[in-house]
Structure 1
Amino acid sequence: MRIVVMLLGLVLFCSPVKAETYRIATLDGITYADISAMVIKAYARLGHNATVINYPGERALFQSSQGIADAELVRTAIVGRLYPTLVRIPVPIDTARITAFMRKGLPPVRNWEDLLQYRIGVEIGFKSAEFYTRDMNVTAFSDRERMFRVLDAGRLDVVVVLRRIGDQVINRLNLQNVYASDPPLSVEPLYHYVHKKHETLVPELARVFTELLANGTFEKSKQAQQLTP
């Protein structure tokens, strides 16, 4: 009897973790295709499935912070302070270059204080930009491309977005009157977040992210996405 019980315990101990499917919210899965691929791979390493779902910026945070979605693809550290139901995986997986895109003819800006004199466009749900420009002359937009068209038409002076996002919008819309001010206003690490109901995933995801970053898997994913037309 003792042998049977011991064998049963061994079987239970060695049984694989039940595969779960996790829904990951993001404000821009296309721009973050490289990060999406890495995060999906990390969940797969743990025996789980993951799917990345695009939402407008504010709605993405609503879905993840309320537990409707299971996780938030990538956000800056300020999101963890603003949304206590979201738990940060303590391994940065990319860098946010928060950049001022200016109308041509205006001088480049060096810091947030330089924006005080300008009419600023910010995308709703971009929490870092909302925080740093909270006492400024800001117009909030739910449509990113419309925001850039307004800037190009001269009805805004500056738009604050991530560099990779702004560059893609300018190229896609072929805007001629907008340029990226350099250096960026801020450079901040980007983190993956899970809803607190999945807090047990945090140490395992941290371990896998560290491995993927160390062995070059993430860099290969970035390069593959850059080569994709």
Structure 2
Amino acid sequence: MRPDFLRVLLLSSACVLSACPAPSPSPSEPDAGTPPPADAGTGSSGDVAPSSRNSLRIMNPEQLTGHFAAALSLPPEQVCNELGKYACTTDVHNVVLNGVDPYVVGLFEPLKVTGATTPNVIDRVALAACARRVSLDVSTPGEAVLFKGLELDAQGRLANREGAPVRDAITSLYQRTLLRDPTEAEVGNLSQLATQIEASGSQTPGRDWMTMACFAVLSSAESIFF
């Protein structure tokens, strides 16, 4: 996959679950020290409940591996490997993912702050895991876990992005990853993602949609925090 095309896909999927960043506040708007309004975080419709614990934590390497493996029905060793042999989470990026390394670098406790490269590493792991799941589902459709019965047209596009197989795949993805059903807006956003991928010039838009739909949910804040 070309690097420039991959950047387009990542940006498209990142904008699926949340709006793209708004412009920086003007001087007339409240600064960072201004207390938020009473209903901050509940959304304009009030349908998002505030956290009851108010203590979200990012998953450590073992938790992240187990979560991604369970959501995609992959053996932990197939979630992500660098050079085909070193586990991305527990070996290569262990410390960056809030792990410890007492024997090599003498780190007995996790870092107190999230590393600057942590988001990139999580995206790397999620993308690798999704690519593996899609490869298995496409190559052995009779044993597909997430993307079952999806028909592609002659150009490799989803034959019917509004059809039941697409909706079922999105629903299964949310249920397995976030343990809940998707909202109608979320289903619509992921369906619309297919149009954005097709417009980007992908040679395999249907398969790329499967990968990026999976990536958008698997790498979301709701997925990697607990």
Return the TM-score normalized by structure 1.
0.26
More strand by percentage: 1
Q: Which structure ranks higher in relative contact order (CA pairs < 8 Å, sequence separation ≥ 6)?
A: 1
Return the TM-score normalized by structure 2.
0.26
Larger radius of gyration: 1
